[in-house]
A = this chain, B = another copy of it.
Amino acid sequence: MASRAKATIFDIAREAGVSKSTVSLVLQGSGLIRPETAVKVRKAIEDVGYVYNRGAANLRKAHSNVIGMVINDLTNPFFAELAVGMERVFQSAGIVPFIANTAENPVRQEEVLKSLMEQGVAGLIVSPARGTTPGAFRRLETAGVPVVFAMRRLPESRIPVIAPDNHRGAFLATAHLIGKGHRRLVFFGGTSDLVVYQERLGGFREACETLGIAARDTLVVQGETSRRGGIACLETALAMAEPPTAALCFNDAVAFGVMLALRKRGLEPGTDFAVVGFDDVVEAEHYMPALTSVSVDTAGLGERAAHVMLKMIQSRTTRAEDHIGAVNLVVRESCGPNRSAELGLGDAA
């Protein structure tokens, strides 16, 4: 049952009556080997129950074929989608990416990065944890390991970023709400330590300004980027003197929370209060009411990130261009019909 000492290429060599070098060549699929010999060797490999020791190999080879994916919150389905997109690409390149979760914890992230480096990864795709310090990736950089950021970025860093056009997405969504006739708007969820937050809030603000919403009619309520955070945000907003009538949410999770809280208060999302989400996760379509959301093509961005990574590894560089993915607003039911009539205004969108 429990095997004796692990088999090595020497064992195979003996079994097949060749030298260790020949075995090595076969293992690497070299064309220099006579087909019959290769067959013989492969049979020995099978018989002996040999398992290749990549660690030993990497001692000589410059490149390992391990790529790590460091994700800040695995329980968010959004990131699972991202991971799936990447895997599609890596699979066809014959690479098995290893995923590690940092649970939004910079200390854990440090450990994870260290461990991955020690493992000798060829490259890393990272969605950095909130509160990541600027120096967290310096070790990677000095070690010359290619890194790309996906979805999130760090305030100042030369590491290439693959992310959606957050500003434009927020702008589109906000314009949609204004077009529907809303005049008192709120931005729900997220905290200012995330660059993404700045970008989305920026899009929101620009839309309000250019489309003639006074600053005093726009509200910002920070909060957790989760369902729970959304619930809390709505409570806060409705407690105001002149509560808003429409919300752009930092992400879909927040939007779900907001809709939930509306229902609990006897308000109907869509008709009584308009809500737009961000990310367009699969659930958005299936919610009641279906959530209008900014679609960012998560899986597509994942694929993109994987491609960039592959190219970086191949060309032995640690630099690459940023890639800002197109976004578009998917209009469903959570913003209800136009309010124009009610307010005596034309359709402004």
Residue positions of A touching B, CB distance < 8 A: 1-3, 6, 49, 51-56, 58-59, 64, 66, 74-75, 77, 80-81, 83-84, 87, 91, 96-101, 103, 108, 111-112, 115-120, 139, 141-144, 227, 256, 260, 263, 282-283, 286, 288, 318
Min CB–CB distance A232 → chain B (angstroms): 14
Contact A75 B84, beta carbon cutoff 8 Å: yes
Known: A84-B103, A87-B101, A263-B288. A143 touches B51 (CB 8 A): yes
Determine the distance from Cα of A148 to Cα of B204 in the docked complex, in whole angstroms: 49
In this complex, what residue of B is CB-closest to A263? B288
Residues of B close to A74: CB separation below 8 A: 74, 80, 83-84, 99
Known: A56-B55, A286-B256. A1 touches B80 (CB 8 A): no
In this complex, what residue of B is CB-closest to A71? B99
Main secondary structure of the interface of A (DSSP, over half): helix
| Identical copies of this chain, number | 2
Q: What are 16 pairs between A and B in contact, CB < 8 Å?
A: A2-B144, A51-B117, A53-B59, A53-B118, A55-B55, A55-B56, A55-B120, A74-B80, A74-B83, A77-B77, A80-B80, A84-B103, A97-B100, A98-B100, A99-B99, A99-B100
In this complex, what residue of B is CB-closest to A91? B108
From B3, B59, B87, B100, A59 is in contact (CB under 8 Å) with: B59
Pick the most buried of A3, A103, A115, A141: most chain B CB atoms within 10 A of its CB: A115
Contact B139 A51, beta carbon cutoff 8 Å: yes
Determine the distance from Cα of A84 to Cα of B51 in the docked complex, in whole angstroms: 30
Residues of B close to A77: CB separation below 8 A: 75, 77, 80
Min CB–CB distance A11 → chain B (angstroms): 14
Contact B103 A49, beta carbon cutoff 8 Å: no
Contact B80 A49, beta carbon cutoff 8 Å: no
Residues of B close to A144: CB separation below 8 A: 1-3
Contact A54 B101, beta carbon cutoff 8 Å: no
Contact A49 B120, beta carbon cutoff 8 Å: no
Contact A286 B227, beta carbon cutoff 8 Å: yes
Pick the most buried of A49, A64, A116: most chain B CB atoms within 10 A of its CB: A49
In this complex, what residue of B is CB-closest to A316? B2
From B75, B97, B260, B318, A81 is in contact (CB under 8 Å) with: B75
Pick the most buried of A52, A55, A256, A283: most chain B CB atoms within 10 A of its CB: A55
Contact A143 B227, beta carbon cutoff 8 Å: no
Residues of B close to A97: CB separation below 8 A: 100
Known: A3-B143, A227-B286. A99 touches B101 (CB 8 A): yes
